[in-house]
Amino acid sequence: MTTRSETQTTLDHLLTEIEHRNPAQPEFHQAAHEVLETLAPVIASRPEYAEPGLIERLVEPERQVIFRVPWQDDQGRVHVNRGFRVEFNSALGPYKGGLRFHPSVNLGVIKFLGFEQIFKNALTGLGIGGGKGGSDFDPHGRSDAEVMRFCQSFMTELYRHIGEHTDVPAGDIGVGGREIGYLFGQYRRITNRWEAGVLTGKGAGWGGSLIRPEATGYGNVLFAAAMLRERGEDLEGQTAVVSGSGNVAIYTIEKLTALGANAVTCSDSSGYVVDEKGIDLDLLKQIKEVERGRVDAYAERRGASARFVAGGSVWDVPADLALPSATQNELDEKDAETLIRNGVKAVSEGANMPATLEAVHLLQKAGVAFGPGKAANAGGVAVSALEMAQNHARTSWTSQRVEEELASIMTSIHTTCHDTAERYGAPGDYVTGANIAGFERVADAMLAQGVI
């Protein structure tokens, strides 16, 4: 039997090859490194995973699509953006993963997101594969008509590659209910099919699921609560810092408040707000979801309890819990040191890979409970899969039923990660538990289906 050290050496060589074959894709390198550095124990104990080039196939997408997206603005000027869809792994089911519209989007970002999605989707147990897509288009400051024209152009190419049994996109940063509506309308127009299951995150009146907008934030809080319970604590009375002010952050704050915690921050690219009384959700939703404004407006209208800090780091605010809910690599080693110094008990990732590898290692070494995004924020894609189930049955579930299903799934994910970490000699290490548990489910399916 191959030893763990020999296996790790093989994995290290594979990481070097990944970096060589995928140049200038640091986010994908980071995601691959984070997973592969934890797999040595399972491969050493189950050598069948190493024999058919399984890991080499796992880190190579099944399909990568890059396409031109031309569109006209309201002044008649033509713009050309780049669209992406990376269909990474379909061993467990149709590709499933969101679309991100943001200037930072490139192939490396989409590949990192798609790779993470493989393991996240596997952990849900709902029979969905991993994929991701998007564009470097920036919807911020664009009119509804401009966003519609862009979405229609984007879908004019994307429709060839998706379908309810093939690939089911959803929303992500920059893609909310408005964008999903325009995308679905163009898909329906081109295909002449009412194929509700081709996109998730739809409006509740035309095939969407209740609790879908809330699911990622709610699920992350439920995962954080489960980690605290393992330590004999609960959320009641805990102070929490949350980054971001989009969909994930808003509903993270909402669920924290409902469970008795005090969420005191939110942020955007301009800076962050600290509200000692706790974030006023109605005001935040009005500014961000209705007015599409900046968080400094929150501080101006909230009163004496709130202050706005331009720039800086939201992680400088002392708290018991930290829930990064904005974007990748927003929490670095320096931020982790600050959180630890201020006595943080748990960090749970609402965004995808918001903590750098160095920050994760530092938090774990300090004994902080750390919930990796592929487990902690899986509630969003879980409810997307429940939306697919409702679409297949042409029915709609009550919000109570969906929320109960979400709670059950998040409890199951926590238990799976916790127990898997213990089984492989890493008790309390949710990163190792999540990576190995997700890997085993995908790897077993890949072995069963042959070298394809």
Catalytic residues, by residue number, are 132
Output phi, psi for 38, to 5 deg.
-105, -5
Place of tokens 């959700």: 281
Supply 111's token pair. 């590949």
Q: Are the CB atoms for 387 and 209 separated by under 8 Å? A: yes
Which residues in 256-266 are b (16+ Cβ under 10 Å) and which e? Answer: bbebebbbbbb
Which strands, in side-by-side order, build the sheet including 306-310? 265-268, 271-275, 306-310
SS (H, E, C) the chain: CCCHHHHHHHHHHHHHHHHHHCCCCHHHHHHHHHHHCCCHHHHHHCHHHCCCCHHHHHCCCCEEEEEEEEEECCCCCEEEEEEEEEEEECCCCCEEEEEEECCCCCHHHHHHHHHHHHHHHHHHCCCCEEEEEEECCCCCCCCHHHHHHHHHHHHHHHHHHCECCCEEEEEECCECHHHHHHHHHHHHHHHCCCCHHHCCCCCHHHCCCCCHHHHHHHHHHHHHHHHHHHCCCCCCCCEEEECCCCHHHHHHHHHHHHCCCEECEEEECCEEEEECCCCCHHHHHHHHHHCCCCHHHHHHHHCCCEEEEECCCHHHCCCCEEECCCCCCCECHHHHHHHHHCCCCEEECCCCCCECHHHHHHHHHCCCEEECHHHHCCHHHHHHHHHHHHHHHCCCCCHHHHHHHHHHHHHHHHHHHHHHHHHCCCCCCHHHHHHHHHHHHHHHHHHHHCCC
Q: Are the CB atoms for 418 and 430 separated by under 8 Å? A: yes
CA distance 286 to 193: 36
